[in-house]
Structure 1
Amino acid sequence: MVINGENLTIEDVLKVAVEGEKVELSAEAIEKIERSREYVENVVEKGEVIYGVTTGFGKFCNVVISPEDTRKLQINLIRSHAVGVGDYLPEEVVRAMMLLRVNALAKGYSGVRLSTIMTLIEMLNKGVTPLVPCQGSLGASGDLVPLAHMVLVMIGEGEAVYEGKVMTGGEALARAGIRPVILEAKEGLALINGTQAMSAIGSLAIAGAVNLSKVADICGALSFEALNGVIDALDERVQLVRPHPGQVSCARNMRKLLEGSEFVTRQGQLKVQDAYALRCIPQVHGAIKDAIRHVKRVLEIEINSATDNPLIFSEEERVISGGNFHGEPVAISMDYLSIAVSELANISERRVERLVNPHLNEGLPAFLTEKGGLNSGLMISQYTAAALVSENKTLSFPASVDSIPSSANQEDHVSMGTIAARKALKIVENTTNVLAIELLCAAQALDFRMEKNRSLKLGKGTDVVYKAVRDIVPKIVEDRVLSIDVKKLTNIIKNGELVRKIEEAIGDLE
């Protein structure tokens, strides 16, 4: 993958971070990087006062650093800022963070040497992944703490994972045949002053959310059949008189999935209308699709931006101190994503309740078991879904509305964007499990429907869904450990296999 700082997509991030695709810099990026670095070296030689290059950091911005101490300044910056705590970020998040830092530096506004960027690329391509604690970032001045832990490994310190083993950063570099970086003027600051940790976490969260927005339609369609849903509510005419793009897309998905189904009903056939958890699927899922599309647009702007400070405009011979490191755009978007994905889980859990509740499930056995009492069936699966939904609600409280001043009030408003991104990623994980539970319950409900009337056919898409579930999870006849079933279904959701199977059968979902 050729990196130029301009056109990285969320899909590209996944290819590198998860699938291990190699990266290289474009010729244009190399030229911009070298031009920017040349200007920084000229400024240092002239002894000009520039924040973070010939001065201290934060509240120390008025402390001038002598030319002979500029190298020491950068090393001290990395060591002093590596104060992360908590669990380590997953390897794919750190790889995404490294890629995004390379892409930001490739824009040529940071004044970093080409050799320094090439070290980061080499680490990425050879699989040297720094161990980065997940807590410690305020989201302005960017992700200082997590990025400092990344840079520690670049200079041969800290810890890293290489070939599946944890070792010191120096040992990992040596084994991979990579020379440690000796940081020069501005390089330490340019490497850690940016939004790449929150954007990396956010990129994986948004990728997961895009997948879940399709999976939710798939699960909803299977439950729709299991509960003899009234298909009139999905009519295109209903959507076009309130034409939110997501609503129109969701209803179209549902119609494709349910095409040819003999388990759905028409208005007045068995009932006049369904409860909201079925009837309002296009309206709810659709609003979430629109939210996800918006957040994806914000993230793709962010991952192609220069976010450090100061910025080097070498062609105009200007160095400008600004605030592009502030994570507010990502913070607000991640909070928005948290709310949106939580709603996918909320309405899914309500469908699960209707499936297992004998007062609501249109004549199905209580808790979808034949010998109720002796067997509890899927009773407790709804408990787990409810617990996850409740946890999502607490995680959905916005991080971006909080701010605590830092650096003696020089940095007096911060975004908490990395906290927002971490919460969003956790909500995506929780919601994946809720949707897996819905798949489990809907397939079990359809078993009873089909046993009662074997001549009826499932929809063109839902038939594929049902078979995909039954390929890995058999019908529940006697009580068994259901967490194993949920995990299997979660895996085919997360790895995209479920969506792929459906789209191969009925065309792309929106």
Structure 2
Amino acid sequence: MDSTFITPGGLDQPLLARTAAGSLKLAIAESAKAGIQASVDCVRALVARHEPVYGINTGFGKLAQTRIADDQLVQLQKNLVLSHSAGIGAPMSAPVVRLMLLLKAASPAHGVSGVRLEVIEALLALLAHDVLPVVPEKGSVGASGDLAPLSHLAGVLIGVGEAFVNGRRVSALDALPHAGLKPLTLGPKEGLALLNGTQASTALAIHAALRLQRVFDAALAVGAMTVDAAKGSDTPFDDRIHAVRGQKGQRAVAARYRDWLAGSALRASHIDCEKVQDPYCLRCQPQVMGACLDQMAHAWSILLTEANGVSDNPLVFADAMEALSGGNFHAEPVAFAADNLALAIAEIGALSERRTAMLMDPVLSNLPAFLVENGGLNSGFMIAQVTSAALASENKSLAHPASVDSLPTSANQEDHVSMATYAARRLHQMLDNTAGIVGIEWLAAAQALDFHRPLRSSPAIEALHARLRAQVPRLVEDRLMAPDIAAATALVEEGATL
């Protein structure tokens, strides 16, 4: 497997997607190595001065005023990793941990963290061999960095904690040989640099953004199917409407609806009907989904900047032989980005649920009640829509901004925190919900199309219909619905593009 070389600031969305998807062999570009070594030399020079420098020869947080003797500096870094490995909860998913490994390696490659190339390469070795540290999902407030999650990540490098190897949970000492590694001894500043930073919250948010793109694409496609299945109009997607408003996402989304609906014989069959306007859940899709698309684009710009930046503390500047204490570990940008993504996820689901409810109602859809023949004997999609409503309602609670909350930590030394890690983590629960909502709509819209046969929708929508029908047959009479919903939800997670 050939290596992909990474340079400081060179991470992009395709590389992040590849990293999340599976093991990837990465290496630090030769051009970055001199800067990395200079930062290490700077730390050594600062130690030799015997002046107090935070995190190098002092305690941490509220204990920053405590001086540490030179012969205890190695133990200081080990103790830091051990004491800060205080997370709880289920392990973070494999895609998130892969992203954490990449982001944690990319940050010290900038040459201002004082971390040896050997340590950076060890992180990349874990990634290349898919040796994934067990990182509990709870325990970070998003400042002073994602301390607990990153401690569990770093712990594996020194032979403590656990890791997943080929899906098995084993001790760090048993896992390291699978990556060709032995336990490392961390030098001055290295433990702190590994623990300090926003890489856990950023990895969680990036993985959510990657998932959201697929769910968003599927929601657009299924929304277009519902328009045709409900004999809705394609006039609301006319570019002239969106051009005069000027919202970039809205105009782009309207074009995608036009593409999905192009060539529909079903649409042509009622082009001269007396109905004047469709419900908002059909007619206002470009306005709502376009606004979501704009939020997604903005969040990506923030997350890519964060992924390509340096967020540990203190930072060492070799050219001036200085270590500067600051607050780049404060993950407020990530928290805001995650909160905005939460709004988009909730609205995608809310609009989809309304379209499903509209299809259930024979007054609005002119289709059999609950999309089933012999209603009464059969309940059809009645409770599937209830499930959709439950998921949409749950998302409303989860969409409450996490970034407005803060509890002081470290004896009030760290007195304002971002809650970015929770802000990003809860996105995945919301995505699970929204994928389920869109999956239920897909089932309902496909069922509604079946009632219009022999009329056909557009070639693109018919292909979407066939993709679902390859796994879920038409509902002729009541059957167990949960497997159908699970199958459709899995398809939504894969996305749907023309």
Interval containing the TM-score (normalised by the shorter chain): over 0.9
Q: Distance in 2 between matches of 1:251 and 1:495?
A: 22
| Match in the other structure for 2:481 | 482
Identity of matched residues, %: 43
Q: Distance in 2 between matches of 1:4 and 1:341?
A: 33
How far 1:136 moved relative to its partner?
Answer: 0.4
| Match in the other structure for 1:100 | 103
Structure 1, unmatched stretches of 5+, are: 503-510
Q: Distance in 2 between matches of 1:376 and 1:56?
A: 65
Using the size of structure 1 for normalisation, the TM-score is 0.95
1:77-156 equivalent positions in 2, closer than 5 A: 77-156=80-159
| Match in the other structure for 2:76 | 73
Does residue 349 of the first structure (1) align with residue 353 of the second (2)?
yes
| Match in the other structure for 2:385 | 382
Does residue 54 of the first structure (1) align with residue 57 of the second (2)?
yes
Does residue 19 of the first structure (1) align with residue 22 of the second (2)?
yes
3-state SS of paired residue (2:95): helix
Q: Which amino acid aligns with 1:281?
A: Q
Q: Which amino acid aligns with 1:159?
A: E
3-state SS of paired residue (1:77): helix
Task: Report Cα offsets for 1:358-411 as digits up to 9, x if no partner.
Answer: 2221x2111111121121111111011111101111111111000001111110
Q: Which amino acid aligns with 1:127?
A: D
Counterpart among 246, 255, 259 of residue 256 in structure 1: 259
| Match in the other structure for 2:169 | 166
Contact 1:224–1:264 (8 Å) recurs in 2? no
Q: Distance in 2 between matches of 1:293 and 1:211?
A: 14
3-state SS of paired residue (1:253): helix
Task: Report Cα offsets for 1:322-355 as digits up to 9, x if no partner.
Answer: 1100000000110111011110000000000011
| Match in the other structure for 1:411 | 414
Q: Distance in 1 between matches of 2:203 and 2:13?
A: 9
How far 1:190 moved relative to its partner?
Answer: 0.1
How far 1:270 moved relative to its partner?
Answer: 3.5
| Match in the other structure for 1:472 | 471
Q: Which amino acid aligns with 1:296?
A: W
How far 1:175 moved relative to its partner?
Answer: 4.2
Contact 2:91–2:136 (8 Å) recurs in 1? yes
How far 1:50 moved relative to its partner?
Answer: 0.8
| Match in the other structure for 2:280 | 276
| Match in the other structure for 1:325 | 329
3-state SS of paired residue (1:87): strand
Contact 1:267–1:273 (8 Å) recurs in 2? no
Q: Distance in 2 between matches of 1:318 and 1:309?
A: 12
How far 1:22 moved relative to its partner?
Answer: 1.4
| Match in the other structure for 1:293 | 297
Contact 1:129–1:161 (8 Å) recurs in 2? yes
3-state SS of paired residue (1:156): coil
Q: Distance in 2 between matches of 1:18 and 1:56?
A: 38
Contact 1:141–1:326 (8 Å) recurs in 2? yes
Contact 2:20–2:207 (8 Å) recurs in 1? no
How far 1:236 moved relative to its partner?
Answer: 0.9
Counterpart among 232, 241, 248 of residue 245 in structure 1: 248
Contact 1:70–1:185 (8 Å) recurs in 2? yes
Counterpart among 34, 38, 45 of residue 37 in structure 2: 34
Contact 2:134–2:163 (8 Å) recurs in 1? yes
Q: Distance in 1 between matches of 2:62 and 2:362?
A: 64
Q: Which amino acid aligns with 1:309?
A: N
How far 1:318 moved relative to its partner?
Answer: 2.0
Q: Distance in 1 between matches of 2:246 and 2:272?
A: 26
How far 1:14 moved relative to its partner?
Answer: 2.0
Q: Distance in 2 between matches of 1:378 and 1:371?
A: 13
1:303-318 equivalent positions in 2, closer than 5 A: 303-318=307-322
| Match in the other structure for 2:432 | 429
Structure 2, unmatched stretches of 5+, are: none
3-state SS of paired residue (1:64): coil
| Match in the other structure for 1:460 | 459
Q: Which amino acid aligns with 2:211?
A: G
3-state SS of paired residue (2:367): coil
Q: Distance in 2 between matches of 1:177 and 1:290?
A: 44
How far 1:36 moved relative to its partner?
Answer: 0.8
| Match in the other structure for 1:396 | 399
Q: Which amino acid aligns with 1:6?
A: G
Contact 1:352–1:438 (8 Å) recurs in 2? yes
Using the size of structure 2 for normalisation, the TM-score is 0.97
| Match in the other structure for 2:180 | 177
Moved more, 211-220 or 303-312: 211-220
3-state SS of paired residue (1:24): strand
Q: Distance in 1 between matches of 2:223 and 2:348?
A: 10
Query: Superposition RMSD on alpha carbons, in Å?
Result: 1.3
How far 1:429 moved relative to its partner?
Answer: 1.9
Task: Report Cα offsets for 1:66-87 as digits up to 9, x if no partner.
Answer: 1111111111111111110111
| Match in the other structure for 1:506 | none
Does residue 193 of the first structure (1) align with residue 189 of the second (2)?
no
Contact 1:11–1:207 (8 Å) recurs in 2? no
3-state SS of paired residue (2:363): coil
3-state SS of paired residue (2:267): coil
3-state SS of paired residue (1:166): strand
How far 1:430 moved relative to its partner?
Answer: 1.3
How far 1:486 moved relative to its partner?
Answer: 1.8
Moved more, 183-192 or 308-317: 308-317
1:212-227 equivalent positions in 2, closer than 5 A: 212-227=215-230
Moved more, 91-100 or 484-493: 484-493
Contact 2:229–2:449 (8 Å) recurs in 1? yes
Q: Distance in 2 between matches of 1:49 and 1:168?
A: 36
How far 1:268 moved relative to its partner?
Answer: 6.1
Task: Report Cα offsets for 1:226-278 as digits up to 9, x if no partner.
Answer: 11111111111111111101110111000011001122367762400001000
How far 1:289 moved relative to its partner?
Answer: 0.5
